[in-house]
Structure 1
Amino acid sequence: MTIYYEDDGLTHRLNELENDIKGTMRIEDLKMMQGQPDAQEKVVEIIPLMDKIGPHFRKDAPQILKYLQSHEPHQIVETLNKDGEIFINKLKLTSDYITTKKEIVSSTGEKVEILHSDDLNVVVEIVV
C-alpha cells in the first residue's frame, strides 16, 4: 500500500501514524510519498450487448462477436473513441453495442484500487 500526499506538513504526522496504519490494515509494506500515484484506467474486457447486436445484425452477429473476442479491448475502445465507429466486414459498430470493464493499473502494471480523501488531500493506492 502506498499513501500519497501533497502537503509537506503531513510528512511528520503520517510517519507518526505508520505503525498504527500497518496494524489496522494488517499489512507489512507501507510506503508514503509526496505527489500523486502514477495509475491509469485500462479497458480489460469488451462486453457485447447482445440485446442490441442480435436484433440489428442478426446473422452477422457471430462475426461481430468473433472480432470483439479476438482483438485487444483497449484498441477497440481507442478506435471507437477516435472515429466513433469500427467496421467489421463492412458492418458498422458503434459504442452503443458494447460496454467495457475497466481496471486501474499502476505504473508497474499491477491492478490497484485508489482511495481519495479531499478533506486530507491524501490518496491511498492499494495493490489488489
Structure 2
Amino acid sequence: MKNFFKTTLYLFAFALAGVLFQISCSNSENSVPQNSNNQLNKIIYSKQVASEIQIWTCNYDGTNQTQIPIALPANLIVNNNNSQGTPRLSPDGQTVFFVALNTTTTLWSVYSCNISGNNLQEVVPPVSNANLIIGNAI
C-alpha cells in the first residue's frame, strides 16, 4: 500500500510538471513580438515627375500606387541622383527616411516624415558638402 501512494504521488508530480511546462511555453510564445504579422507588404520608391522627385508606395504587385505628399520647404529637393539616396521605411512601416538637398547651401541632409507625409523633420543635419547614403532602418 505504501508503494501505491508513492507511485501515485510521483505520477501526480510528473503530470503537474508537464502541465506547468506547457503553460510556461504557451505564455512565452505570446510575449515575443512577431514581425511577420506587422509587415505592410508595400514597396517604397521615388519617381521623377517633370523636374520634381516624388516618393510613392504601392503593393508588391504594383497595385494601389499612392504618393506620399511631403511638403518640403522651397529650398529643399528630394535626392534621386543615385540608388544610395532612395527612400527607406522604418521597420514598423510608419516613418519614411530620405535624403534632401538644400539648393541654397548645396548641402545634403537626411529627413523623415510619417507615411502620411506629415511631421517632416531633419534627422541628420548637414556637416559638409559630401553626399549622404541612407542604409536600412533596423
Select the structure that is richer in helix. Answer: 1
Which structure has the greater CA radius of gyration? 2
Q: Which has the higher contact order (CA 8 A, sep 6+)?
A: 1
Select the structure that is richer in strand. Answer: 1
TM-score > 0.5, shorter chain as reference: no
Report the TM-score, using the length of structure 2 for normalisation.
0.20
Report the TM-score, using the length of structure 1 for normalisation.
0.21
